[in-house]
Amino acid sequence: MLNTQPNLARPDDFYEALIDMHRDLDDVQSQSVNAQLILLLANHVGEHEALMDAIRYARAGVNAPSSNGTARKLAA
């Protein structure tokens, strides 16, 4: 089961480190470091259903363009 409740001991420090991780990287490098981080954390979690829930939850939070060019929220 995916825990979506606040669970970081030091959320501000984590967010700052996450932003710093991207400093001085171009778009391709930034996407690469994001992918590496996701795969490392997914490996750490390990539980398939929790990872599938996380994918669905993350995707539901993204606005997708509709056919008329305006953004719409995706369903979970």
In the chain, what percentage of residues exceed pLDDT 70?
A: 83
Q: Does one domain contain both 75 and 57?
A: yes
Flag whether pLDDT at 73 surpasses 90. Answer: no
Check residue 76 and give its pLDDT.
47
Residue with tokens 């710093």: 20
| 8 A C-beta contact, residue 29 and residue 21 | no
Query: What is the number of domains present in the chain?
Result: 2
Q: Does one domain contain both 35 and 50?
A: no
Q: Does one domain contain both 16 and 41?
A: yes
Q: Evaluate whether residue 3 is within a structural domain.
A: no
Higher pLDDT pick, 22 / 69: 22
Flag whether pLDDT at 12 surpasses 60. Answer: yes
Q: Does one domain contain both 50 and 76?
A: yes
Per the structure, the complete domain to which residue 30 belongs is given by 11-45
Q: Whose CA is closest to 8, among 38, 18, 23, 52?
A: 18
Question: What is the pLDDT averaged over residues 20-46?
Answer: 98
Q: Does one domain contain both 57 and 68?
A: yes
